[in-house]
Amino acid sequence: MGGLRVAEALRRFGYAGPVTAIGDEPHAPYNRPPLSKEVLATEVSHEAVAFPQRPATEDVNWVLGTRAVSANLANSTVTDDTGLVHEYSAMIIATGLRPKRIQVPNGDLQGRHVVRTLEDAIALRAELIEGARIVILGAGFIGCEVAATARKLGCAVTVVAPGVHPIVRPLGTDLAKELQRRHEEQGVAFRMKSSVADLVGVERVTGVTLDSGEQLDCDVFIEAIGSDPNVEWLDGNDLELSNGVLTNNDLQAIRVDGTVVENVFAVGDVARFANPVFDGEPRRVEHWNIPTDSAKRVGQVLAASLAGDAVALAAAKNKPFAPIPSFWSDQYDMHLLAYGLLGLADEIRLIEGQILGDCVFGYYRRGQMVGVCGIGLRSVVQSFRKEFQLEA
Amino acid sequence: MTIKIDVDMTKCQHYGQCVFEAPDIFRLNSDDKLEYTAEADDSERANIEAAIDVCPMQAIRIVE
């Protein structure tokens, strides 16, 4: 997605030269949010989730089903897993994340799933049949969305997670507790403050053993415990890769010595950048809007720089890159919508509605609003969006 | 010249992200449901394309 959005932005800002996009998935870019929702609830193909292709990017050279295995920034080359070496004037890192997996003694079993790619979702869909017993490890957004979808399909669902309540970070205790109550009302069982010590089964998973010693029978085991950035292929170039790719405000990669690589950029959830709306602390942001927002910035800066247009470059850099973080989630008939960085808050208060119904919470750091999140009441949540807009 | 806009209401979840990109075309009504103007002047094209990009459900398209 980040790659596609950069290509589109480069064209929009006037770059007409060649663009090569290397991606390890076999498909053209597609939209991931439906994978934990509609794709699991219905039969969905790549066509149904593919991003539309625009005329301006028809000549992009898509090298699909091919992984970048190494980069040499000194020579300006990328090598892919077929051994082909690609030379570049500028490189954009958009390699995203991969799901974390647990390491357990009896881990090599069928019936283990994650939800990241279309193939993951289709494979999981085939096993979410009515009456199937599902254990989900992890109670973040993906874990909760999959739990809701699996309940809708008539599966028996148990969620195992280390936290006190589901999505307690970043939602906070009150909202997270209410979310758990609503899941429980829909028939989901929780084993919070727990982890999975081992899997049970021969060839196929038949259960899990928790750290408490309790054993849960299951037909399907789903891991939804977060993700790691795909940056190993960049090793050996002295880039700061301790948590994704550290970048400056123009998404240009930064070396461990603090110097900037002018022609290497990172976009999407692999990029770690500071957002001046909040502070100077660089963060990776795993929100759906980040690939699009960061790609626009890169497209504008890079198109001006490749054209040698100093005026356009100065104009592009004049306005700081300050994307408004936003996320949303659908679980049963609950629609969550949020703006800002809720996780920064030291104080959370109910600002509208009632927690048992539709409600909006405000998230504050040292008295200043850093986030807003609602169940329903979208217009109210939207009215706070301007709080996270950088003042002109 | 005018352009025609189509929103697949079976996909739309009324998140209203499009409202910020093309406020003259998209709005949430008092029930927080999406409403939109199905025809727009070509000068709105860039805003509508931005709205298409930010739709989490990818429910919006321009009908040429």
pLDDT tens per residue, range A339-392: 999 999 999 999 999 999 999 999 999 999 999 999 999 999 999 999 999 876
How far apart, in whole angstroms, are the C-alpha atoms of residue A324 and residue B43? 25
Query: What is the separation of C-alpha A285 from the centre of its chain, rounded to a whole number of angstroms?
Result: 8
Q: Closest Cα to residue A195, out of A164, A226, A162, A157?
A: A162
CATH class of residue range A2-96+228-318: alpha beta
CB-nearest partner of A378 from B28, B54, B58: B28
Q: At what angle do helices A289-306 and A2-12 cross, to 10 degrees?
A: 40
- Structure-block tokens of residue A216: 């849960």
The pLDDT score that the predictor gives to residue A37 is 83
Contact A188, A223 (CB under 8 A): no
Q: Which of residues 51-70 of A touch B (CB under 8 A)?
A: 51-52, 54
β-strands A326-331, A260-266 pairing: unpaired
Check residue A264 and report its DSSP letter: E
Within 8 A of A49 by CB-CB distance, chain B residues are 58
The DSSP secondary structure of A331-369, one letter per residue, reads ETTEEEEEEE-GGG-SEEEEEEE-TTSSEEEEEEETTEE
CB contact under 8 A, A328 and B57: no
Contact A288, A21 (CB under 8 A): no
Q: At what angle do helices A310-318 and A289-306 cross, to 10 degrees?
A: 150
Q: Measured between CA atoms, how close is B14 to chain A, in angstroms?
A: 8
Q: How confident is the model at residue A42 (pLDDT cuts 50, 70, 90)?
A: confident
Helix (H), strand (E) at residue B58: none
Report whether pLDDT(B51) > 80: yes
Mean pLDDT of A151-169: 96
Within 8 A of A5 by CB-CB distance, chain B residues are 53
The pLDDT score that the predictor gives to residue A380 is 95
Q: Which CATH number describes the domain made up of A101-225?
A: 3.50.50.60
Q: Which of A36-40, A72-76, B48-52 is the least confident region?
A: A36-40
Burial of A305 (0-12, 13-18, 19+ CB in 10 A): buried
**Domain limits, chain A:** 2-96+228-318, 101-225, 333-388
- pLDDT tens string A88-143: 999 999 999 999 999 999 999 999 999 999 999 999 999 999 999 999 999 999 99
Within 8 A of B53 by CB-CB distance, chain A residues are 5, 8, 292
Within 8 A of B13 by CB-CB distance, chain A residues are 328, 330, 335
* Comparison of pLDDT for A56 and A43, the residue scoring more: A56
CB contact under 8 A, B32 and A379: yes
The pLDDT score that the predictor gives to residue A392 is 60
CB-nearest partner of A31 from B20, B28, B58: B58
Scan for tokens 């929103």, then name that residue: B7
Of 3.40.50.150, 3.40.50.300, 3.20.20.140, 3.30.70.20, the CATH number of B2-63 is 3.30.70.20
CB contact under 8 A, A5 and B53: yes
The pLDDT score that the predictor gives to residue A10 is 97
The pLDDT score that the predictor gives to residue A200 is 98
Within 8 A of A32 by CB-CB distance, chain B residues are none
Q: Which of A382, A385, A387 to mutate to test the interface with B (most CBs of B within 10 A)?
A: A382
Is A377 in the B-facing interface, judged by CB distances under 8 Å? yes
Q: Closest Cα to residue A132, out of A116, A146, A115?
A: A146
* Comparison of pLDDT for A390 and A280, the residue scoring more: A280
CA closest to B62 among chain A residues: A52
How far apart, in whole angstroms, are the C-alpha atoms of residue A162 and residue A168? 11
The pLDDT score that the predictor gives to residue A44 is 77
CB contact under 8 A, B14 and A289: no
Report whether pLDDT(A230) > 90: yes
- Structure-block tokens of residue A65: 């089903």
User: Hey, do A2-96+228-318 and A101-225 end up sharing a CATH topology, with the first three levels equal?
Assistant: yes
- pLDDT tens string B9-20: 988 989 999 999
How far apart, in whole angstroms, are the C-alpha atoms of residue A77 and residue A340? 37
The pLDDT score that the predictor gives to residue B3 is 92
Is A326 in the B-facing interface, judged by CB distances under 8 Å? yes
The pLDDT score that the predictor gives to residue A372 is 98
Report whether pLDDT(A43) > 80: no
How far apart, in whole angstroms, are the C-alpha atoms of residue B37 and residue B25? 5
Check residue A83 and report its DSSP letter: S
The pLDDT score that the predictor gives to residue A312 is 93
CB pairs under 8 A between A and B: 44
β-strands A112-113, A97-99 pairing: unpaired
The pLDDT score that the predictor gives to residue A210 is 98
Q: Which of B7, B29, B32 to mutate to test the interface with A (most CBs of A within 10 A)?
A: B32
CB contact under 8 A, A378 and B53: no
Interface predicted TM-score (ipTM): 0.91
CA closest to B10 among chain A residues: A38
β-strands A204-210, A77-80 pairing: unpaired
CB contact under 8 A, A33 and B57: yes
Per-residue CA distances from A179 to A66, A143, B14 (Å): 40, 13, 21
Report whether pLDDT(A178) > 80: yes
Q: Closest Cα to residue A37, out of A26, A21, A51, A49?
A: A49
